[in-house]
C-alpha cells in the first residue's frame, strides 16, 4: 500500500511503553515526509504524550479510559468506545487505520467494520504469554480476520495465531535508530552499576531482578542496581527493595529524559520480563557499542527462569567484560 493521504493511528495511551515509542517513531517518520497523520488515544486531554511528536501531527485524546466497576459497565464502556472510534473514522476518512495492542485492536476492528477503510493491527508482545480474558481472545480470533494486515515483532508471536491468519501476518522487528546524545554529567549513581530500563508493570517481572540482585549484595557490596522508568508497580517494588534490605544499593530514577545517555556509564544492562518482545530500547546499546547476548531467535526470551542470579554472578566476577545485555 502506497500511503498518499491520511493515516490514523489508534492506541489506548501515549504514556511510557515500547508500543508508544514505536507508534511515535512511525508517526514522526510519516509526518516528516509530508503525510497527514492523526493519533487517537483513549486518554483524557489532561494526559500528555511522553515522547515528542512532530508539530504537524494531530493528537486526539478521546477520554475513553474510564475503569469499569462491573461486567455490565464494562460492556457499556466498550460499546461507547466502539461508537466513538467509528464516528472518528467516518469523520477523518483516513486512507488507512493502524491500531496498536490487543484489546484496542479488537475495538478498532469492530468500529471500522463495514466502513471500507483498511485496518492494520499490531501485536507488540508474545500473545501466548500476555494474560487476556477468554472473551477478548475469542474476539481477537474473530476480528483479526477482518484486518488488512497484522504486524508482530517475532516469528514466535506469528506462530501463536491459527494458520488462517498467518497469511496476513508480517513479522516486523522494532527499528534500530541511532540517536547520539551527550553523556549525562554528573552521573546520578555510583559505579559499578547494572541498569534496567522499562515500564514498572507486572509483566516486566522487575521483582525477580530485585530478588536476584539481593543474592549478590554480600559478595559484591560495591555494585548498584539502577532502575529507570515508572509505572503502576513502582511503590510495590520500592517496598520490596526495603524488605530485601537493599537500601541505597537499588536506585529508582523514575522517568529520565534521554535515558540512553546513561548507557555508556553503566557496566551492563539487564532485562527481565514475561511475554514481551525484544525491547525497543535494544537500539540504544547498538549506538553505545553494547553487545546483545543470550537471545533465543524469534522468541524475545533472554534467559531461563532461575538463571538470572548466576548470570549476574558470571559477569560481575569478570572485570574485563564488555558491556552487554542479559
Q: What is the pLDDT of residue 279?
A: 52
Q: Are 80 and 114 part of one and the same domain?
A: yes
Q: 182 in a domain, yes or no? A: no
Q: 187 in a domain, yes or no? A: no
Contacts of 221 (CB under 8 A, 6+ apart): none
CATH code of the domain in which 95 resides: 3.40.50.2000
Q: Are 77 and 204 part of one and the same domain?
A: no
Q: Are 161 and 209 part of one and the same domain?
A: no
Phi, psi dihedrals of residue 103, rounded to the nearest 5°: -70, -35
Q: Are 151 and 282 part of one and the same domain?
A: no
Q: Are 159 and 20 part of one and the same domain?
A: yes
* Least confident window among 4-13, 66-75, 180-189: 180-189
Band of pLDDT at residue 299, cut at 50, 70 and 90: very low
Q: 137 in a domain, yes or no? A: yes
Q: 65 in a domain, yes or no? A: yes
Q: Are 140 and 239 part of one and the same domain?
A: no
**Rounded Cα distance, 234 and 287, in Å:** 28
Q: 101 in a domain, yes or no? A: yes
Q: What is the pLDDT of residue 30?
A: 93
Q: Where does a domain end: 110, 141, 171? A: 171
Q: 178 in a domain, yes or no? A: no
**Rounded Cα distance, 29 and 8, in Å:** 14
pLDDT tens readout for residues 71-97: 889 899 999 999 999 999 999 999 999
Q: Are 13 and 161 part of one and the same domain?
A: yes
Read off the pLDDT of each residue in 17-39 and give the average, rounded to a whole number: 90
Q: What is the pTM of this model?
A: 0.73
Q: What is the pLDDT of residue 196?
A: 87
Tell me the three-class secondary structure of the chain, residue by residue: CCCCCCEEEEECCCCCCHHHHHHHHHHHHHHHCCCCEEEEECCCCCCCCCCCCCCCCEEEECCCCCCCCCHHHHHHHHHHHHHHHHHHHHHHCCCEEEEECHHHHHHHHHHHCCCCCCEEEEECECCCCCCCCHHHHHHHHHHHHHCCEEEECCHHHHHHCCHHHHCCEEECCCCCCCCCCCCCCCCCCCCCEEEEECCCCHHHCHHHHHHHHHCCCCCCCCCEEEEECCCCCHHHHHHHHHHCCCHHHEEEEECCCCHHHHHHHCCEECCCCCCECCCHHHHHHHHCCCEECCCCCCCCCCCCCCCHHHHHHHHHCCCCCCCEEC
Q: What is the pLDDT of residue 232?
A: 85
**Rounded Cα distance, 99 and 102, in Å:** 9
Q: What is the pLDDT of residue 176?
A: 64
Report the domain count for the chain.
2
Q: Are 156 and 305 part of one and the same domain?
A: no
Band of pLDDT at residue 264, cut at 50, 70 and 90: low
Q: Are 111 and 246 part of one and the same domain?
A: no
Q: 280 in a domain, yes or no? A: yes
Cβ neighbours around 45 below 10 Å, total: 10
Q: Are 228 and 91 part of one and the same domain?
A: no
Q: Are 159 and 197 part of one and the same domain?
A: no
Q: How many Cα neighbours within 13 Å face the side chain of 29? A: 10
Domain that holds residue 115: 7-171
Q: Please, what sign has the CA dihedral across residues 70, 71, 73, 78?
A: positive
Q: Higher model confidence: residue 252 or residue 319?
A: 252
71-92 and 102-112 helices, crossing angle to 10°: 60
> What does the CA dihedral 188, 193, 194, 198 come to, rounded to 10 degrees?
0
Q: 188 in a domain, yes or no? A: no
pLDDT tens readout for residues 186-228: 666 777 888 888 878 887 788 988 998 999 888 888 888 989 8
Q: Are 153 and 19 part of one and the same domain?
A: yes
Amino acid at each position: 500500500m502506497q500511503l498518499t493521504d491520511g493515516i490514523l493511528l489508534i492506541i489506548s495511551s501515549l504514556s511510557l511503553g515500547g508500543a508508544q515509542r514505536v507508534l511515535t517513531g512511525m508517526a514522526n517518520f510519516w509526518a516528516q515526509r509530508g503525510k497527514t497523520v492523526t493519533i487517537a488515544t483513549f486518554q483524557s486531554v489532561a494526559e500528555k504524550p511522553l515522547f515528542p511528536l512532530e508539530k504537524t501531527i494531530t493528537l486526539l485524546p478521546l477520554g475513553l479510559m474510564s475503569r469499569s466497576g462491573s461486567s455490565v459497565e464494562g460492556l457499556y464502556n466498550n460499546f461507547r468506545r466502539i461508537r466513538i472510534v467509528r464516528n472518528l473514522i467516518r469523520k477523518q476518512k483516513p486512507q488507512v487505520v493502524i491500531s496498536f495492542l490487543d484489546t484496542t485492536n479488537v475495538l478498532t476492528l469492530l468500529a471500522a467494520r463495514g466502513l471500507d477503510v483498511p485496518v492494520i493491527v499490531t501485536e507488540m508482545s508474545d500473545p501466548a504469554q500476555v494474560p487476556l480474558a477468554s472473551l477478548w481472545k475469542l474476539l481477537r480470533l474473530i476480528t483479526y480476520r477482518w484486518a488488512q494486515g497484522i504486524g508482530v515483532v517475532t516469528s514466535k508471536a506469528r506462530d501463536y495465531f491459527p494458520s488462517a491468519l498467518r497469511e496476513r501476518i508480517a513479522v516486523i522487528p522494532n527499528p534500530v535508530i541511532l540517536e547520539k546524545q551527550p553523556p549525562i554529567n554528573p552521573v546520578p549513581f555510583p559505579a559499578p552499576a547494572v541498569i534496567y530500563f522499562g515500564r514498572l508493570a507486572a509483566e516486566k517481572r522487575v521483582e525477580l531482578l530485585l530478588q536476584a540482585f539481593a543474592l549478590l549484595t554480600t559478595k559484591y557490596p560495591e555494585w548498584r542496581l539502577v532502575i529507570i522508568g515508572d509505572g503502576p508497580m513502582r511503590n510495590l517494588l520500592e517496598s520490596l527493595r526495603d524488605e530485601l534490605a537493599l537500601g541505597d544499593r537499588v536506585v529508582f530514577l523514575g522517568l529520565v529524559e534521554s535515558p540512553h545517555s546513561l548507557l555508556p556509564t553503566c557496566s551492563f544492562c539487564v532485562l527481565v520480563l514475561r511475554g514481551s518482545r525484544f525491547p525497543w530500547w535494544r537500539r540504544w546499546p547498538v549506538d553505545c557499542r553494547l553487545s546483545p547476548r543470550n537471545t533465543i531467535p524469534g522468541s524475545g526470551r533472554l534467559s531461563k527462569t532461575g538463571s538470572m542470579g548466576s548470570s549476574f554472578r558470571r559477569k560481575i566476577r569478570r572485570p574485563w567484560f564488555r558491556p552487554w545485555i542479559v
